[in-house]
């Protein structure tokens, strides 16, 4: 099938998926980078439809071999004109030439049972999709088994989240939940939580983190809520040697997680 009309009903519906309301209603997420699409397929996500632009693919890759990855899966493959593709893409400055509509999938925290040694990242109140994607990518980098999105404002399936995660939102379990639910789940499963706090007595490098399973980070500007400041099992601080008094949320999470992984060996 080839679509060249901007007034095509299907194209109008796909274009609406740039909006969270329509993504949630359709339970679909548009994914544009080949590696991200590959991650979705490798991890069992369903590809509902694929739209591609021949001219853009030829410029990006020199041929249409990128489409070979869809040969063995039952999905609808539709070619569109460059004008149509530019209407439905969320990456107008650097279009990939291909968009896959991936079915959303939520993980249930209540039904999830951790294994011994599993590591998790909990992110509370994150507002920016870019930061959310970066945190998810970091969790995948350190081998975490899942990410808890506690009262997060940024949309997990925002195109910017998907982009900044490099598709790793499809590589590990992500639970959209609340801080209270995560704290209760940790208590039930006897998992220790760890937060960074300026008021902590010891730095992350001088604290035994080997018993910690969940690193909790807070919102970009306000940090962690009083709930976590009171509930966390382990509190650490990250040494500051310059004039700035804080780190970005992703930097703080990276230092804490990698130090934890280092200590656990």
Domains (range + CATH), the chain: 2-103 (3.30.1330.30), 120-264 (3.40.1280.10)
Strand order in the sheet with 192-196: 173-177, 146-150, 120-124, 212-217, 192-196, 234-236
Residues 71, 27: contact at Cβ < 8 Å? no
Work out whether strand 28-31 and strand 2-3 pair parallel, antiparallel, or are unpaired.
Answer: unpaired
- Taking residues 44-59, report their average pLDDT: 94
| The pLDDT value given to residue 202 | 93
Residues 97, 66: contact at Cβ < 8 Å? yes
Spatial separation of the C-alpha atoms in residues 104 and 225, rounded to whole Å: 29
Q: What is the pLDDT of residues 73-121, one digit of tens each?
A: 889 999 999 999 999 999 988 999 999 999 999 899 999 999 999 999 9
Q: With bands split at pLDDT 50, 70 and 90, how would you rate the model's confidence at 198?
A: confident
- Taking residues 121-125, report their average pLDDT: 98
Spatial separation of the C-alpha atoms in residues 50 and 74, rounded to whole Å: 11
- Taking residues 156-168, report their average pLDDT: 97
Q: What is the pLDDT of residues 227-260, one digit of tens each?
A: 999 999 999 999 999 998 889 999 999 999 999 9
**pLDDT at residue 137 greater than cutoff 90:** yes
The DSSP letter of residue 68 is G
Rounded to whole angstroms, what are the CA distances from 160 to 31, 54, 164, 236?
10, 24, 6, 31
- pTM of the predicted model, to two decimals? 0.95
Please state, rounded to an integer, the average pLDDT across all residues of the chain.
95
């Amino acid at each position: 099938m080839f679509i060249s009309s901007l007034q095509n009903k299907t194209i109008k519906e796909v274009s609406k998926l740039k909006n969270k309301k329509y993504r949630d209603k359709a339970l679909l997420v548009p994914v544009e980078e080949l590696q991200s699409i590959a991650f979705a397929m490798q991890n069992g996500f369903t590809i509902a439809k694929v739209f591609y632009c021949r001219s853009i693919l030829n410029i990006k890759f020199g041929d249409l071999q990128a489409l070979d990855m869809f040969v063995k899966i039952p999905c609808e493959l539709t070619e569109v004109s460059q004008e149509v593709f530019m209407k439905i893409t969320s990456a107008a400055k650097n279009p990939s030439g291909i968009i896959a509509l991936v079915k959303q999938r939520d993980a249930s925290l209540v039904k999830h049972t951790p294994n011994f040694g599993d590591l998790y990242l909990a992110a509370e109140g994150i507002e920016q999709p870019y930061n959310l994607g970066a945190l998810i990518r970091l969790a995948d980098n350190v081998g975490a088994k899942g990410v808890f999105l506690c009262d997060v404002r940024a949309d997990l399936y925002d195109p910017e989240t998907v982009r900044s995660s490099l598709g790793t939102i499809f590589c590990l379990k992500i639970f959209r939940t609340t801080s209270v639910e995560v704290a209760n789940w940790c208590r039930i499963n006897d998992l220790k939580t760890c937060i960074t706090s300026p008021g902590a007595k010891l730095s992350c490098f001088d604290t035994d983190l080997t018993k910690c399973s969940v690193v909790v980070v807070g919102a970009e500007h306000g940090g962690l809520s009083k709930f976590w400041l009171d509930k966390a099992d382990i509190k650490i601080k990250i040494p500051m040697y310059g004039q700035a008094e804080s780190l970005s949320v992703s930097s703080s999470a990276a230092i804490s997680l990698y130090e934890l992984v280092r200590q656990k060996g």
